[in-house]
Structure 1
Amino acid sequence: MDELDYKILEMLKANARQKASDISKEVHLSISTVIDRIHRMEDMGIITSYTAITDDNKVGNGVTALMEVSLDHPRYNESFIEGIAGNPKIISCYYLTGEFDFLLKISCRSSEELEKVHRWVNDLGGIRQTKTHFVLRTVKNIYSSLPSD
């Protein structure tokens, strides 16, 4: 990847619906070259998907929480991962170092719905401890980063 690829990625991250012609003007390449570079980055797995980013409150999910999860033993990792993968209220999962093994981001309609998710997670096998934090306000939320200078 070169500087132009990074510039194209920055522009797509800002608005994935931008026309290749608009990107080409900004990076001073032909439209076909921009399209070729985007396709190459898709083929290489650098660009993995395009998505619509929604306002959780406006779609009815007014409660966001972060749940730290500690398992009794690493042998429970795979079954835990399989379990949470199918729960649509758990929108992100990170495998961690430190005191807790996983960090879950949960988005739901209400504290009652969060409580159901909390009970459901605790009913999965091998859970030693959970710690849940309500998100008061999202200050920054980007979905991936590019190398900085």
Structure 2
Amino acid sequence: MMDLLDRKIIAELQRNARESTTKIATKLGVARTTVHERISRMEDRGVIAGYSVVLQEHPEGHKVQVVVMAEVQQKETRRIIKRLETYPEVRQCLSINGEFDLIICAEAPRIEDLDILVDEIAAIPGVVRTNTNVIFGRRIDRI
């Protein structure tokens, strides 16, 4: 079970995973050993599964991003996901409940590239229908 202090430590690590335990402790008003022990415990329990590196945006500039919601025939889901894996523009695919079955996150340098991608996704056998939204900006980004 995580408490408020654990969640605050995680938030600090999400902002900067390389931040020292001393700096985190100072920000949170607790002892450095407390932060160190809490992080170790969360790692041991699997709450913190790892750390990652966030690369700088592509040097050519900002990429256009879309979210495609897709309704699919259930028996075709695995085949559709395998096909989606072949598109380099597809960054993430999530299975969901509700009106749609998959959320597909994609990015490309130009909206025209994504227009072609969305048409191709809609043409995959087993995809019943899609709904696409363009992402205007990120308000919170902890990835």
What TM bracket, shorter-length normalisation?
0.7 to 0.9
Q: What's the secondary structure of 1:141's corresponding residue?
A: coil
Show the counterpart of 1:104.
Answer: 104
User: Does the aligned pair in 1 maintain the 2:69–2:131 contact within 8 Å?
Assistant: yes
> Which 5+ residue runs of structure 1 have no aligned equivalent?
145-149
Once the 2 structures are TM-superposed, how far is the Cα of residue 67 of structure 1 from its aligned partner?
A: 0.8
Instruction: Confirm whether residue 3 of structure 1 aligns to residue 26 of structure 2.
Output: no
Show the counterpart of 1:138.
Answer: 137
Once the 2 structures are TM-superposed, how far is the Cα of residue 109 of structure 1 from its aligned partner?
A: 0.7
User: Does the aligned pair in 2 maintain the 1:61–1:107 contact within 8 Å?
Assistant: no
In structure 1, distance between residues paired with 2:117 and 2:46: 32
Between Structure 1 and Structure 2, how many residues are aligned? 141
Change in CA separation of 1:86 and 1:2 when aligned onto 2, cut-off 3 Å: farther
Q: What's the secondary structure of 1:94's corresponding residue?
A: strand
Percent of pairs with identical residues: 26
User: Does the aligned pair in 2 maintain the 1:7–1:27 contact within 8 Å?
Assistant: no
Change in CA separation of 1:126 and 1:53 when aligned onto 2, cut-off 3 Å: same
User: Does the aligned pair in 2 maintain the 1:90–1:106 contact within 8 Å?
Assistant: yes
User: Does the aligned pair in 2 maintain the 1:68–1:103 contact within 8 Å?
Assistant: yes
RMSD: 2.7
Q: What's the secondary structure of 2:12's corresponding residue?
A: helix
Change in CA separation of 1:85 and 1:11 when aligned onto 2, cut-off 3 Å: same
In structure 1, distance between residues paired with 2:79 and 2:91: 18
User: Does the aligned pair in 1 maintain the 2:68–2:130 contact within 8 Å?
Assistant: yes
In structure 2, distance between residues paired with 1:29 and 1:16: 18
In structure 2, distance between residues paired with 1:46 and 1:141: 21
In structure 2, distance between residues paired with 1:85 and 1:48: 24
User: Does the aligned pair in 1 maintain the 2:15–2:142 contact within 8 Å?
Assistant: no
TM-score by length of 2: 0.76
